Amino acid sequence: MSESIIQLDVENPIELFGPGDKHLNLIKDLFPKLKIIARGNMIKLMGDPDEIRTFEQRFELLQAYFDRFGKITEQEISQIMDREEMPAEEKHSGNDPVLVYGRHGKIIKAQTVNQKKMVESIDKKDMLFAIGPAGTGKTYTAVALAVRALKNKEVRKIILTRPAVEAGESLGFLPGDMKEKLDPYLQPLYDALRDMLPTQKLISYLEDETIEVAPLAYMRGRTLGNVFAILDEAQNASESQLKMFLTRMGKDSKFIITGDITQIDLPRNKRSGLLQAKEILSDIKEIDFIFLNDKDIVRHKLVSKIVNAYQKHLNQ
């Protein structure tokens, strides 16, 4: 028998559970194989791991619906929570899996050919390099894969890191201590997490370091075991920094390294560690390299045209 705790992302659980726990009792009836105990802003689940996983996925959608509309009916609870009425989005093939059910009912899954290759790769291998231009979803997909692994209890924590190299700006002129200086630089990672996790759960994960967001220098000397680690903006890691990060890998861990080799902000006398890794690690069969391109860009359609224009200019 397995156990799991769900922290409710609602201000008043009574409104969600209904008068006299009417809604909560309906939810319990829909999952008779689970023992469900609700106390304050916490729900404790006991039972079969697969049954718990299904409940967690459905309940996250339920919370997202309630968060959006501020109310919910018994009919809507049945439609969301009844495992016999599987939403169309869940009826996917093995090549098009839902990675995470995000906030407000958002369904997060790989959208392009190379994003799907990332999903297939990390299911089979422990280390993946995803290299491509801005807007190709490499970081977002990597974070979704990490959140999926954490939710499925495949790892004990997530580590998200970036080299502290500024794109033409200086951290020294920013106000605050080092954390306050670095937090804006790490903002894209926080943005992805906010899309995928309820606010209170994300805050809890950050406070107890189940999710750790830190600059690359903080990884030195550590062994990262049973974690899902993502090194973002790896093109701005030096050769020694990238080697340092890769050799932190401990048992039962997954590593994804993302980067854009067309946007290197290192000083001219320093070579990108991502360029070196691409040259010397490509023959190791346990490591995958996936190269995303303009066809993977999922931002505004102008982004693809901008990337192509810059690429043509570089090739002149």
Q: Does the structure show a pLDDT above 80 at 78?
A: yes
Average pLDDT over residues 63-80: 78
Tell me the residue type at 164.
A
Count of Cβ atoms closer than 10 Å to residue 160 Cβ: 23
Q: How large is the greatest C-alpha to C-alpha distance in the chain, in angstroms? A: 71
CB of 210 closer than 8 Å to CB of 150: yes
Range list for CATH 3.30.1370.10 in the chain:
2-86
Tell me the residue type at 82.
D
What are the φ and ψ backbone dihedral angles of 115, each rounded to 5 degrees? -65, -40
CB of 154 closer than 8 Å to CB of 245: no
Question: Each residue of 211-222: pLDDT tens digit?
Answer: 998 888 889 999
Task: Please indicate whether residue 305 or residue 141 has the higher confidence score (pLDDT).
Answer: 141
Helix residue spans in the chain (DSSP H): 13-17, 22-30, 49-69, 74-81, 113-124, 138-151, 178-182, 187-196, 199-207, 239-246, 273-280, 301-315
Residue-averaged pLDDT of the chain? 84
Q: Whole-model pTM above 0.85?
A: no
CA–CA gap between residue 235 and residue 14 (Å, rounded): 49
What burial letters (b/e) apply to 215-234, b meaning 16+ CB within 10 Å? bbeebeeeebeebbbbbbbb
Band (95; pLDDT cuts 50, 70, 90): very low
* Nearest one of 126, 131, 120, 304 to 232, comparing CA atoms: 131
Range list for CATH 3.40.50.300 in the chain:
98-315
Task: Please indicate whether residue 218 or residue 171 has the higher confidence score (pLDDT).
Answer: 218
Sequence length of the chain is: 316
Tokens of 190: 């926080």
Site of tokens 């346990």: 286
- 2-86 has CATH 2.60.40.1180 classification: no
CA–CA gap between residue 256 and residue 315 (Å, rounded): 29
* Nearest one of 23, 121, 116, 103 to 60, comparing CA atoms: 103
pLDDT for 87 = 46
What are the φ and ψ backbone dihedral angles of 84, each rounded to 5 degrees? -80, -20
Measure Cα distances from 221 to 81, 144, 214, 248 in Å: 45, 27, 14, 8
Lowest mean pLDDT among 11-15, 70-74, 276-280: 11-15
Which CATH entry fits the domain spanning 98-315: 3.20.10.10, 3.40.50.300, 3.30.450.20, 3.30.390.10? 3.40.50.300
